[in-house]
Amino acid sequence: MTNVIFPHRHLLGIEGLAPHEISALLDLSDQFVEKNRSTDRKASSLRGQTVINLFFENSTRTRTSFELAAKRLGADVINMQVSASSVAKGETLIDTAMTLNAMHIDVLVVRHPDSGAVKLLSEKVNCAVINAGDGWHEHPTQALLDALTIRRRKGRLGGLTVAICGDVLHSRVARSNMHLLSTMGARVRLVGPRTLMPAKAEKLGVEVFTDMVEGLRDVDIVMMLRVQNERMRGNFIPSIREYFHFFGLDYDKLSVAKPDALIMHPGPMNRGVEIDSDLADDVERSVIREQVEMGVAVRMACLKVATHNLAMGNA
């Protein structure tokens, strides 16, 4: 079944995926949500398969949920601690990947600080590769879990207006979400200071706002982004206090969105910087914890599809 609907061995990004391929992954993820909520969570479809998590950047949600997803499907999982590996002795990314590849692994889940690094690696190995976030480029499973959260809450993606707010410039989450939401027929707005907006953002097929209240007016979804200090070279914002005043999401700014607008954040959050702490925890508006739950189901779907396609010999 998965061979026909999603015929790719690797999942490197959302860009280029067709609407029916995205829908297929979301449909399969939906099934895993229900499975994960049952007492019978454990499956065996990946028994005998090996998944390696190779993370060159820190992670809580993505790494843990990939591990949980693989274990729930019955796979053997290894979490490589990069700081304790031969990378610390100077081994290159490609040599590391080829070394792991020689051990007959099935899936390599990779996070790397450089955009394009995961694609480069995928060209050198026989196993399936899943991008767990590469630099500023893409974070495909995050966009899929965001889409699953929205679709389950709103019943659709097409026709919704989604505001992606904050540090868009440094955000791979924003890029993957822009591709996915536009492909699925949603209207995307980027909202944030000009200094944190990609050059020529208007040419990306989205609307751009530098005023938060204008950008949030009548939207269905408010997706907040973390201010990514670790990727900034220089001063992009005058001060945290000023940033929160103009671009931090609080009840006041949210009041111009639709009354049933949902608040999302990929995490980790900077409370009091891009989002008011009480609002982040307001279960009437915030679906941030639900996003985390959806992450496990989406990663189960991606692992299942990747291993299936690997077995079928798909490129």
| C-alpha distances in Å from residue 24, one per residue of 28, 132, 148, 290, 296 | 6, 20, 11, 20, 16
Segment interacting with ligand CP, rule: CB under 6 A, options 57-65, 90-98, 153-161, 246-254:
57-65
* 59 scored as a contact of ligand CP (CB under 6 A): yes
Helix (H) or strand (E) holding 224: strand 221-224
List the x/- string, 132-171, binding to ligand CP by CB under 6 A. Answer: -x--------x-----------------------------
Which CB atom, from 208 or from 300, has the smaller least distance to ligand CP? 300
Which CB atom, from 176 or from 309, has the smaller least distance to ligand CP? 176
Distance CA(76)–CA(14), nearest Å, equals 27
Distance CA(10)–CA(251), nearest Å, equals 41
Q: Minimum distance between the CB of residue 174 and ligand CP, rounded to whole angstroms?
A: 12
**Site residues (CB under 6 A) for ligand CP, limited to 280-309:** none
**Among the listed residues 147, 180, 131, 129, the one whose alpha carbon sits nearest the alpha carbon of residue 306:** 129
Q: Minimum distance between the CB of residue 134 and ligand CP, rounded to whole angstroms?
A: 12
Q: Minimum distance between the CB of residue 58 and ligand CP, rounded to whole angstroms?
A: 6
Which CB atom, from 50 or from 142, has the smaller least distance to ligand CP? 142
Which CB atom, from 173 or from 197, has the smaller least distance to ligand CP? 173
**Backbone angle region of 293, left / alpha / beta, with phi > 0 → left and psi within -120 to 50 → alpha:** alpha
Question: Among 8, 35, 61, 271, which residue interacts with ligand CP (rule: CB under 6 A)?
Answer: 61
Which CB atom, from 62 or from 309, has the smaller least distance to ligand CP? 62
The alpha carbon of residue 296 and the mean position of all alpha carbons in its chain are separated, in whole angstroms, by 12
* 113 scored as a contact of ligand CP (CB under 6 A): no
Q: Minimum distance between the CB of residue 221 and ligand CP, rounded to whole angstroms?
A: 16
* 62 scored as a contact of ligand CP (CB under 6 A): yes
Which CB atom, from 7 or from 267, has the smaller least distance to ligand CP? 267
Backbone angles phi, psi at 22, to 5 degrees: -65, -45
Distance CA(286)–CA(240), nearest Å, equals 22
Q: Is 114 helix (H, G, I), strand (E, B) or coil?
A: coil
For ligand CP (CB under 6 A), the number of binding residues is: 9
**Among the listed residues 142, 96, 126, 186, the one whose alpha carbon sits nearest the alpha carbon of residue 296:** 142
Binding site for ligand CP (CB under 6 A): 59-62, 133, 142, 266-268
